[in-house]
Amino acid sequence: MNKYTIDLANTCLGCKKPSCQTGCPVGTPIETMIRMFLSGQIAEAGEMLFKNNPLSVICSLVCPHEKHCEGHCVLNKKKTAVSVGAIEHYISDFYMNSKDFEKPEYNGHNVAIVGSGPAGIALAFILASKGYKITMYEGQSKIGGVLRYGIPDFRLDKRVLDKLIDKLKQLGVQIRRNIMIGKHLTIDDLFRDGFKAIFVGIGVNIPKKLNIKGESLGHVHYATNYLKDPASYDIGKKVIILGAGNVAMDAARTAARNGAKDVTVMYRKGEENMPAERHEIECAKIDGVKFDFYKEPVEIVDDGLIYKKTDEKDITGFEQADSIFISISQSPNDILVKNANINVDDYGLISLDDSGMTSRPGVFSAGDIVTGARTVVEAVALSKKVAVSIQEYIAKEYT
């Protein structure tokens, strides 16, 4: 792996104005990273990456690199772009496995983080390293949010995530599991108990319904729920996925690894209209997933589904299936925001001012609950901005 990574790094041209960096939502200094790596400064390069993006070790695995850094590489014009993700992961993984974090001196201010997904973890690292006492609340038994329960193991080894959690603990972050703010405790309770600021990063994890007849039948599943624990499902041999986003691709590829012999993605438009990243689509094809375009489900029945062809009027058909997965989108869980009187938009997403603060003073937010389902690195980018705003708010209100 070492020689392979060195060979990849040597393909970098060392551009004076690296477009790969401008293409990255968090502005990863890629040219500098590669130069430091090749000069034997791997630990220093890893520290630089971590300070710029606390989730660098994860983003290097799950980011749509062809859309961001690698997609902006000048070598795309002539040949294959520099494999930024592979190089970044090698450096970041080395750093996380060799670096022990020290708990900084407490600065006297407590911050609550509600939700332990990418936005919350990134913010916890940033603020904890500056001496804030951080308490993180998670409704599940394990932290990670979409990183834990939404990204398949073949894309993200959960041991990488567990290593990050160990580092959070080294910084003094307290993690309270199996508790939902808004249901068990309220925002008012957190302020009462001395938290100076509260961050809400609960993501969007409620699957949207198709609202067609048969959706309540026993062989119908929601893709986001399936990805949480695929082994607990008996899906049979023939599976149809309804939807064409990245979650649909993950569900299809996971089903193919968990007993299904025939997995088909059914989509009402053409391949060029699929919302999934091109790389995810190609990976699904490599895994044997088939695609059925211009078909829209009309009704789900015991042994499959009835569909209509969207490119031909009044033409219907039937497709047999043992299991049907619905993957059309996700919505936010509104328990917290309703009980906290936080303003949301027409889609139920939290509305923010320019600083990242909600309609309630002292309550900030970032991640998918603000933007809708986006990439991990985009959640980190927003959390970095909000971290600055939280520090400024506490300094103004409490010092």
Write out pLDDT tens, residues 291-312.
Answer: 999 999 999 999 999 999 999 8
Q: Which residues lie below 8 Å from residue 209, measured CB to CB, with a gap of 6+?
A: 215, 326
Q: Is CATH 3.40.190.10 what the domain over 110-205+332-398 is classified as, yes or no?
A: no
Query: Using CB atoms within 10 A of its CB, is residue 113 exposed (0-12), middle (13-18) or buried (19+)?
Result: buried
- Per-residue pLDDT for 130 more than 90? yes
As a three-state string, the secondary structure of the chain is CHHHHHHHHCCCCCCCCCHHHHCCCCCCCHHHHHHHHHCCCHHHHHHHHHHHCCCHHHHHHHCCCCCCCHHHCHHHHCCCCCCHHHHHHHHHHHHHHHCCCCCCCCCCCEEEEECCCHHHHHHHHHHHCCCCEEEEECCCCCCCCHHHHCCCCCCCCHHHHHHHHHHHHHCCCEEECCCCECCCECHHHHHHCCEEEEEECCCCCEECCCCCECCCCCCEEEHHHHHHCHHHCCCCCEEEEECCCHHHHHHHHHHHCCCCCEEEEEECCCHHHCCCCHHHHHHHHHCCCEEEECEEEEEEECCEEEEEECCCCCCEEEEECCEEEECCCEECCCHHHHHHCCCECCCCCECCCCCCECCCCCEEECCHHHHCCCCHHHHHHHHHHHHHHHHHHHHHHHC
Asked if 279 and 64 count as a contact pair (C-beta separation under 8 A), the reply is yes
How much is the average pLDDT of 209-229?
97
Q: Where are the alpha helices (DSSP H) in 73-157?
A: 84-98, 118-128, 146-149
| pLDDT score at 231 | 95
User: Which tokens belong to 357?
Assistant: 């603060």
pLDDT at 312: 86
Q: Is the pTM of this model over 0.85?
A: yes
Euclidean distance between CA atoms 366 and 120, whole angstroms: 8
Mean pLDDT taken over the chain: 94
* 341-393 confidence digits (pLDDT tens): 899 998 889 999 999 999 999 999 999 999 988 999 999 999 999 999 999 99
pLDDT at 332: 86
Return the higher-pLDDT residue of 184 and 304: 304
* Cα–Cα dist 127/191, whole Å: 18
pLDDT for res 336: 85
Is pLDDT of 62 > 60? yes
Which pLDDT value is given to residue 59? Answer: 97
Contact 307, 319 (CB under 8 A): yes
Q: Would you state the pLDDT for residue 277?
A: 93
Give strand pairing partners of 384.
none
Asked if residue 270 has pLDDT above 80, the reply is: yes
Residue pair 57/3 in contact by the 8 Å Cβ criterion: no
Q: Can you tell me the mean pLDDT for 24-34?
A: 96
The CATH superfamily of 207-329 is FAD/NAD(P)-binding domain (3.50.50.60)
Report, as an integer, the average pLDDT of 97-121.
96
Cα separation of 124 and 111, whole Å?
9
Q: Is the pLDDT of residue 334 over 80?
A: no
Whole-number pLDDT of residue 140: 93
In CATH, what is the architecture of 2-98? Orthogonal Bundle (1.10)
Please answer whether residues 329 and 359 qualify as being in contact, where contact means their C-beta atoms are separated by less than 8 angstroms: no
Quick check: do 2-98 and 110-205+332-398 share a fold? no
Residue type, 122: A
d(CA 336, CA 338): 6
Residue 1 has pLDDT above 60, yes or no: no
Closest CA to 204 of 373, 20, 383: 373
Domain ranges of the chain: 2-98, 110-205+332-398, 207-329
| pLDDT tens per residue across span 159-180 | 999 999 999 999 999 999 999 9
